[in-house]
């Protein structure tokens, strides 16, 4: 039987966990820019945008190992540091606005006493800076970052936020834009929803059989509204 977007009993959805980059924040262009900048600055081959979008969503070190399989640990660390410095500080890198509809969606879930959390491959410093800059920090009861846990699709960061929120997998939904989010959710036994305004194509995301595939956050809110109307 298909798992519904909302659990069958009213009030049974207790937690929604969001990925950050490409899901709530339109940051993939900045990530691509800084991965290419880090390649130039470290003397590594510069990968094209399609190759880079494929690995966005992994933790940065895991991503560097995918891009440069022969790299040693020292190079991976150096490249990762160079990338993060660019992402956090470069004035000439693309801006990172929130996607349309973020606060409407978070407010709607909040009004139903559904807890909210973030599981991101960003660094702690990067996430805290983004939460501060956007004012969204107040919404989330728990956050987990890429430098605190093994890279997605390892489920430990998702399990950690569920543990801190005190909510079991069946009453949780994971929302993400990459196959790594969906695989992580599957490993944790959490039903997942994909948004397609981020890095991975609808075709690629469909392979992971998410509960729902939505073009953007406004459509996702509409889907939650419709699901509420039918339970
Ligand atoms: Mg993402």
Confidence (pTM): 0.94
CA distance 30 to 189: 32
Domain with CATH 3.40.50.1000 in the chain: 15-26+98-229
CATH 1.10.1380.10 fits 15-26+98-229, yes or no: no
**Ligand 1 midpoint to CA 53 (Å):** 10
Which CATH topology does 28-89 take? DNA polymerase; domain 1 (1.10.150)
**Ligand 1 midpoint to CA 151 (Å):** 12
Residues with CB under 5 A from ligand 1 (ion): 19, 21-22, 57, 177-178
Mark whether 19 is an active-site residue: yes
- Inform me whether the pLDDT recorded for 60 exceeds 80: yes
Best CA proximity match to 214, nearest among 231, 196, 191, 187: 196
Task: Give the confidence band of 1 by pLDDT, cuts at 50, 70, 90.
Answer: very low
Mark whether 73 is an active-site residue: no
Domain with CATH 1.10.150 in the chain: 28-89
Of 21, 26, 177, 181, catalytic = 21
Mean per-residue pLDDT for 185-208?
97
- Inform me whether the pLDDT recorded for 88 exceeds 80: yes
Of 12, 19, 41, 181, catalytic = 19
Residues linked to residue 214 through DSSP beta bridges, in sequence order:
195
């Amino acid at each position: 039987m298909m798992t519904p977007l909302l659990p069958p009993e009213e009030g049974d959805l207790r937690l929604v966990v969001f990925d950050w980059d490409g899901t709530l924040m339109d940051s993939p262009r900045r990530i691509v820019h800084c991965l290419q900048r880090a390649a130039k600055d470290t003397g590594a081959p510069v990968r094209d945008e399609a190759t880079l979008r494929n690995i966005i969503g992994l933790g940065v070190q895991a991503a560097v190992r995918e891009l440069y399989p022969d790299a040693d640990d020292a190079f991976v660390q150096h490249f990762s540091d160079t990338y993060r410095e660019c992402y956090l500080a470069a004035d000439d890198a693309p801006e990172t606005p929130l996607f349309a509809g973020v606060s409407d969606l978070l407010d709607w879930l909040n009004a139903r006493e559904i807890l909210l959390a973030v599981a991101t491959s960003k660094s702690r410093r990067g996430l805290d800076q983004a939460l501060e800059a956007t004012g969204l920090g107040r919404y989330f009861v728990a956050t987990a970052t890429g430098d605190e846990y093994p890279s997605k699709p390892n489920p430990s960061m998702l399990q950690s936020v569920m543990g801190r929120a005190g909510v079991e997998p069946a009453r949780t939904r994971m929302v993400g834009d990459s196959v790594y989010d969906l695989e992580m959710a599957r490993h944790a036994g959490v039903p997942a929803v994909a948004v397609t305004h981020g890095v991975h194509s609808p075709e690629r995301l469909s392979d992971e059989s998410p509960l729902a595939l939505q073009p953007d956050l406004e459509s996702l809110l509409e889907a939650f509204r419709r699901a509420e109307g039918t339970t």
